[in-house]
Amino acid sequence: MSLTRSTRVLKCALFLVLVAASGCVRLPELGNLSYLAPRERRGSILANINPSQPQLSLNELQLKGSHNSYHRAPRFALSRTWRYSHAPLEVQLASQGVRQLELDVRFADGELRVNHLPMVDGRSNCSQLNDCLGRIKRWSRAHPAHLPVFVFIEVKEDLAPSNLAGKLDAIDFAITRVFTRDMLMLPEDVAGTSPSLREAIIQNGWPSVDDARGRIAFVMFGPMRHKRAYSKGRPRLDGRVMFVAERDTHRPHTSVVFYDDPQHMREQISAAVKQRFLVRTRADANLHRNVVRRDAALSSGANFISTDYVDPRHNWLELSGTVAARCNPLSASRDCSALALSEDSRPALAEAAPQVTPSSSTTYADTANTPPLSDSATSATP
């Protein structure tokens, strides 16, 4: 290599470093997802799962989710609502039955960071998005028959800005640098030939459970301005990696909705479930456990029940024993059964990852600081 060419390469490298450091990272054009690796063969392990069972749709399931899945309690919590710690993501997936995760994302120092509130509540099991995604991928590859995992990506704005305005493609790009095309369930896969995602969902519903096994689906939620920028002019979300969680079921790109209060928003949840949207709600909030709220969430028909208490030792939100999902009480057909939802071709839930012994100072969900239940009942509805 000539000296002139070496100098030119060095200058280009230096320029890229300076651009990255400034946070002004130039991203690839993501228009038609051509940057993704081609879909690989799914393999016989998925083709032969429960071949005698009826094909169930994803909207017939109810899954357990963790709120702020990455969170670790701060050493000195300024608020009692921050006094909880989750197990690492792969442990939640392997031994706690979680199939819906939630990551809060900000853009800082040229990186996508995962944390709650910088400085005051910033501890995380995986502080960089790439690390979080890598953990999910490794677990998924090791368990290819798993029920689909939905990862909610919240673009955070409170206390510190997300710095993601105009850079939302960075999240798509980060996801596709980790996951190959065959591991993802994309909006355009669900839209099919329909002119909008909403129309596809209402007319055809979601893909079958077996078609979605081994897949990861990403869902954006957070400030309205980011969701509008991400979905603008894309009723099918073509060229996008993430679905968009909405409260308005009439937007053309709507396929996932969220109603966090299952007691006061029961009618909205029921109406959305009957239209075959996937719905997320919360069994508890601010570390306050209320049996009435939890049971309302379970019976509401919401597909994702999010909680701060995912560890089975809390005996709070166990859906159906060793199966990582249960038949949805509102939308499941008579053909739905624990056998149809089985992940038996992977290790049993209790054996899929080593049990992590909590430290004496902080346990998962921080049981030492857990407030008492507001009702005498403690066990979840089976």
- Tens of pLDDT along 144-182? 999 999 999 999 876 666 778 778 999 999 999 999 999
Q: Once rounded to an integer, what is the mean pLDDT over residues 69-90? A: 94
When pLDDT is cut at 50, 70 and 90, the band that residue 339 belongs to is confident
pLDDT at 11: 41
* CA proximity to 303, closest of 219, 200, 211, 237: 219
- Contact 105/223 with Cβ under 8 angstroms? no
pLDDT at 367 over 90: no
Angstrom distance (rounded) from CA 150 to CA 131? 17
Angle at the Cα of 354 (from 357 to 312), degrees rounded to 5? 65
Residue range 224-257, pLDDT digits in tens: 999 999 999 999 999 999 999 999 999 999 999 9
Sequence-ordered list of residues with C-beta below 8 angstroms from that of 324, at least 6 positions apart, any chain:
63, 64, 97, 98, 99, 146, 147, 341, 343, 349
Longest dimension (CA), the chain: 78
By residue count, the chain amounts to 382
* CA proximity to 219, closest of 249, 236, 235, 243: 243
Residue 192 DSSP class: T
When pLDDT is cut at 50, 70 and 90, the band that residue 188 belongs to is very high
256 beta partners: 245, 278
pLDDT > 70: what percent of the chain?
Answer: 74
Angstrom distance (rounded) from CA 287 to CA 290? 10
- Classify 382 as helix, strand or coil: coil
For the chain, the average pLDDT equals 81
pLDDT at 366 over 70: no
pLDDT at 53: 55
- Contact 266/296 with Cβ under 8 angstroms? yes
In angstroms, what CA-CA distances link 345 with 55, 159, 209, 341, 342? 18, 45, 15, 11, 8
